[in-house]
Amino acid sequence: STSLTQLQYLVDALVYVSDGSIVWIETDVDGSQLQEVTTRHGLDLEGLSTTHDADFVQLDERDFICPGLIDTHTHAPQYPNLGLGQEYELLDWLQQLTFPREAKFTDLEYAQKVYDQVVKRNLNAGTTTCSYYASQHVSSAKVLADVVLERGQRALVGKCNMNRNCPDYYCEASPEASVEDTRALISYIRDLQPSKLPWKSANPSPLVQAIITPRFALSCTSDLMQGLGELMASEPDVHIQTHLSENRTEIQETLRSFPECKSYTEVYEKYGMLRNGTILAHCVWLTEKEMDVIKRTGAGISHCPTSNFNLMSGGARVGAMLDKGLNVGLGSDCSGGFALGVLPQLRNASMLSKMLAIQPEKPNEQANGHTGQFTDKPLPIPTLFYLATMGGAALCKMADTVGNFLPGKEFDALHVTPGTSPNFFLDVGEDRPAGQTREERRTKLKETFERFLFVSDDRDIAHVYVRGRKVGGAKQ
């Protein structure tokens, strides 16, 4: 993905990865030129696999690699609730299902088991970078950070801050304790790396980072919001995530709890929580003014369409956000959403944009005079894939590190083997690509990629790489 509207399909490409980073990429290389091209780059192809701790991987002619997917919003301890709670909207769903489940994460053995599954399944679904909410317990958030690092996923890990509107058995004792635990998690995650990486790496930058996670305004007293705002100010580089403007009742309650604020967004602004590196999940009901505030602060939006449909929260106006120049990524929001991974979010983002496009009245255009490229229009494939990769990377302040294949970036990638799952069985009665011209193969690749985005499943992702290491996939 080179921009919101551009996707490049490289055929006969050669990618050289060293120490987890892409060193060079050559395209349109014939098999007969392989030796010449590698030699030009000072590489001894023959000697590679024998003399180095290295691999020469040649893809089957139908296979392809693409950048790893970025999930900008999910809740690891809600994994066991996946698919449950169809009858609820947000606030009841939290009380009936979500808080009781998350409360179980004082049991660290249970946490270890669940988190190991979550991280493994997210990797296998192609999520190479993930922004996680843990429960409110700092002890189990540390377990999640350990598991993520051991499994080799790139991640942000935060413990929820919440000291009101939750049951007694799942409520933090005081604002001070909540802030103190958050501080403790930040130091713990900093100390985890790089020296304690479970594998050898010359790359000193951390793979797992802490993220400050006020659950949402309704679960934090003003004291706690104040304390967290101060913590954020003292940690200018730390990431922040929260929920914003998800459900209409939630919005009403929030405005009642913070009567001095004119909008939900203003609550977070007031406490200094909006800045570059803040991930705001949902943003279904934002006004134009709120979008402007978010844009001014450099915060980004995690679009969670499956969750927004499932909890009947509503349809976020992603097209309008993009026309305003806001940063948008995708979030699975397990278990508000019932589908792990980023591809289901891409599919539902597409469906939602089509639904908004066919509505007879165009509320965005009428109310706000939008006539932009994306507002109330179906999101094109390059835009959808941008949201799944580069958009997410920008939200996580990783746009210089991951999100697409450029020399200097780290190699987070999926090796896709089309035809492994039955839906994605492509070559019924068709010739294999051998013998086709390069342009014919490029056209074919484009078609295969579109099918990958819409009908594949985990079985089609054979290998998943993070920082050049194989960390998952159906054939790991």
Q: Which stretch binds ligand GUN (CB under 6 A): 14-22, 90-98, 137-145, 383-391?
A: 90-98
Query: In terms of residues, how long is the chain?
Result: 476
Q: Which of 102, 290, 333, 458 binds Fe ion (CB under 5 A)?
A: 333
**In whole angstroms, what is the distance from residue 278 CA to residue 301 CA?**
8
Residue placing its CB nearer to ligand GUN in the complex, 88 or 216: 216
Which phi and psi (to 5°) does residue 391 adopt?
-60, -45
The secondary structure element, H or E, covering residue 64 is strand 64-67
Q: Which residue number, 264 or 452, has a Cβ lying nearer to Fe ion?
A: 264
Residue 151 touches which member of ligand GUN, Fe ion, none, C-beta under 5-8 Å by kind: none
CA distances, 154 to each of 70, 79, 200 (Å): 9, 19, 16
Q: Which is nearer to ligand GUN, 323 or 333 (CB)?
A: 333
Contact (CB, 8 A) for 342 and 316 = no
Among 98, 128, 417, 456, binds ligand GUN (CB under 6 A): 98
Contact between 216 and ligand GUN (CB under 6 A)? yes
Structure tokens at 193: 């790396």
Residue nearest to ligand GUN (CB): 336
Q: Which stretch binds Fe ion (CB under 5 A): 40-48, 154-162, 192-200, 330-338?
A: 330-338
Q: Name which of ligand GUN, Fe ion, none residue 225 binds, using a CB cut-off of 5 to 8 Å depending on partner kind.
A: none
Per the CB < 8 A criterion, the answer to whether 92 and 310 are in contact is no
Structure tokens at 115: 């988190």
Q: Residue 243 CB, nearest distance to Fe ion (Å)?
A: 6
Q: Which helix (H) or strand (E) holds 161?
A: strand 160-161
Three-state DSSP state, 124? helix
Does 333 bind ligand GUN (CB under 6 A)? Our answer is yes
How far, CA to CA in Å, does 444 sit from each of 15, 383, 430, 433, 461? 21, 20, 11, 8, 18
What tokens does 33 get? Answer: 């030129």
Size of the site for Fe ion (CB under 5 A): 1
Neighbouring-strand partners of residue 75:
133
Q: What distances in angstroms separate CA 79 from CA 6, 76, 149, 240, 244, one per listed residue?
A: 34, 6, 19, 22, 21
**Residues 464 and 472: beta-carbon distance below 8 Å:** yes
CA distances from 172 to 77, 97, 158, 215, 437 (A): 17, 18, 15, 12, 63
The pairing of beta strand 278-282 with beta strand 300-303: parallel
Residues 121-180 that bind ligand GUN (CB under 6 A): none
Q: How far is the CB of 73 from Fe ion (least distance, A)?
A: 6
215 touching ligand GUN, by CB under 6 A = yes
User: In terms of CB distance, is 160 or 207 closer to Fe ion?
Assistant: 160
Nearest to ligand GUN of 307, 327 (CB atom): 307
Answer for which of 77, 126, 336, 391 binds ligand GUN (CB under 6 A) is 336
Q: Residue 129 touches which of Fe ion, ligand GUN, none (CB < 5 to 8 A by kind)? A: none
Cross-strand pairs, 17: 22
For the segment 61-80, give every residue that binds ligand GUN (CB under 6 A). 75
What is the distance between the alpha carbons of residues 334 and 99, in angstroms, rounded to a whole number?
A: 14
* Separation of CA 302 from chain center: 8
Among residues 209, 307, 364, 375, the one that binds ligand GUN under rule CB under 6 A: 307
DSSP for 240-300 reads: EEEEES--HHHHHHHHHH-TT-SSHHHHHHHTT--STTEEEEE--S--HHHHHHHHHHT-E
In the complex with ligand GUN, which residue's Cβ is closer, 277 or 336? 336
Comparing CB distances to Fe ion, the nearer of 148 and 413 is: 148
Smallest distance from the beta carbon of 239 to ligand GUN, in angstroms?
A: 18
Binding mask 198-227 for Fe ion (x = CB under 5 A): ------------------------------
| Cβ-based nearer residue to Fe ion, 387 or 464 | 387
Residue 215 contact, options ligand GUN, Fe ion, none, Cβ 5-8 Å cut-off depending on partner type: ligand GUN
CB of 133 to ligand GUN, least distance (A): 7
Q: Least distance to ligand GUN from the beta carbon of 170, Å?
A: 12
For ligand GUN, the closer of residues 68 and 344 by Cβ is 344
Among 146, 172, 246, 410, which residue sits at the site for ligand GUN (rule: CB under 6 A)?
246
Q: Which residues bind ligand GUN (CB under 6 A)?
A: 75, 90, 94, 98, 215-216, 243, 246, 307, 333, 336
Q: Contact residues for Fe ion (CB under 5 A)?
A: 333
